[in-house]
Structure 1
Amino acid sequence: MSAILEAKSLNKIYGEGNNKFYALRDVNLKVNKGEFLAVMGTSGSGKSTLLNMLSGLDRPTSGEVFLDGISLTSASEAELTKLRGEKIGFIFQFFNLIPVLTAEENVSLPLFILGKYDDQTKKRVFDLLNLLGIGHLASSRPSDMSGGQQQRVAIARALVTEPKIILADEPTGSLDSRTSKEILDIMRHFCDEMNHTIVMVTHDAKVASYAHRIVFMEDGKLIDELNLKNSSQSVSQRVVEITRRIEGELV
C-alpha cells in the first residue's frame, strides 16, 4: 500500500553549540490512505514538532516530508499555503471556531478562502453538518453550542475541502469523557467507512486506543509502534497494552 504521507530522516535542531537541542532525531514515518494513526509521547517528546513538520507549518533542519507525492520541504511558502488549504484538514484541541460566524459559515470558510464556494460545495457543507448530527445548528454561533457540538463543527470544517489527510492535535483534550468518546467514534468512522486518513497527537492512552496504529516518541525519536488495526481487544485491554508500552513493560 502506497503512503499518502511520508517523513524521511527528519531532524529538527534548535539553537547552536552548547545550546543545541534536537527536537526530532532521524524520524522516518509512513501513513497510508484510510489509516488512523496516533502519535504518543510525553510533553517534550517531539510529537507536536513532528505534527508541525507533517503539516508544513515548520521546516525540518534536514530530511523531507512528502504529501500525496509532493515535497513539503522544498515547496515555497505560497505553495505550502495552497497545499495546506487543499490537502490538509486541521482539528485542534480548542476548536478555533470564529465566534461571530455561524456553524455553516465556519465550515464554509475554507471554501471561501480557496474560491471554491458554490452550490455544490454548499450542499457538502450541509451534508457534513447533518452527517455529524448538528444540521439543526447550522445557523447557531459557537457560544450557543456545547464543546462537543463545537468540535463537530471543527471536524466538518476539516473535511469540507475533501483533504488528503486530517491532522488532529489533542482533539478531545478540552472535552469530558462521554463527549470525547463520541468524537473519537466519529473520527474512527470516517477512517473505517469513508477511507479518510487521520494523524492524531495525544498523550492519553484511552484516546490513542481508537487508532489503527500507534507510534511512540521519546526525546525526538520514534521508539516503538503498536498495530491495533485488526485487534479484537476491548478498549480497556488496548489501554492496558498501550500504557505498558509507554512504561516500557513490554519488550
Structure 2
Amino acid sequence: MPHTRLALALLIALAGPAQALILDAAPNKVFTSASAEAAFEGAASLTANDTQTAVIEYPGLPGGAAAGVALRPFSGAAKDQASGSLAISFLGGAGALADSFSFTFSGTVSAESALAAPGDPASARVTLQGAMFFYLDPLFTGLPAGSLLGSLRVDGLRTALPYESFSMTLSDETAGTSSLLTPGGPGADLPLLMGHGYSVTAAYTMAVPHGIDPDFALVLGGTAALQPVPEPNSGWLALLGLAWLASRRRPC
C-alpha cells in the first residue's frame, strides 16, 4: 500500500555535481553536505575551511549537517574576524503536513581594522555552501516509476543586502533539469516523480572591503509535498448522475 507521505531515500554520492550516483534500495534516507570557508584577502592572505556530511536515517526526526569556521588575521584589532556557519535540517511531515527543509546561514565578517600583515588593509569574506540529496524509490512506495508523487517547492528569495550574494538550486538529477533561484526573484516548483533522484543546493557569500564589519543571518528553505487529490467537480458529478439515470431507463 502506498505511503501517505513522501518516502525519501538517499540519492547521491558526494563526489560532485557531475558524479551523481543513485544508490539502490536505500529508503527513508537523505544525504546532506555543508561546507564553510573564511578568508582575509590582501597582500598576505589567510584562509580556513571546514566540511561536514551526514545521513538523515529517519526523516520524521530533525537532522542534517552543520559546518563552521572562525578566522583572525596575524595582527590587528579585536574586530578583525571572519566567521560563519551553515546548518542544514530536514524534517519529515506527518499526515497531511509536507516535509520541510532549511539552510541556515549565520556569521560575522569584519574588516574594520583587518591587517593580515602589518600595513595590509585586507578584505574579508565568508562563503557557505550546502546540499541535500534524496531518491524517491518505487520499490519502497509501491508506486510505478515515473508517476507524479508531489512537488518540491521554494518561495521567492528576499533581495540581497550590500556585500552579500546567495542562491538556491532545485534539480531533478534523473531528468537533468533544474531551477535556479536568485535574490529578489520568483519561487520555483519541481515535480517529484517516482524513480527520480533530487538535489537541493544553497550557497551564501558575504564579502566586505576594508572598513566594513557586518553580521549576517539568512534562512533558505522549502517543502516537499504530496500531490493534492482534486475534489470532484459538482458539474461533472451532475453529468455522471444523468448518465447513470439514462442507463437505468434503457430497455433490457
Name the structure with the higher helix share: 1
- Greater C-alpha Rg: 2
Higher relative contact order, structure no. (Cα contacts within 8 Å, ≥ 6 residues apart): 1
Name the structure with the higher strand share: 2
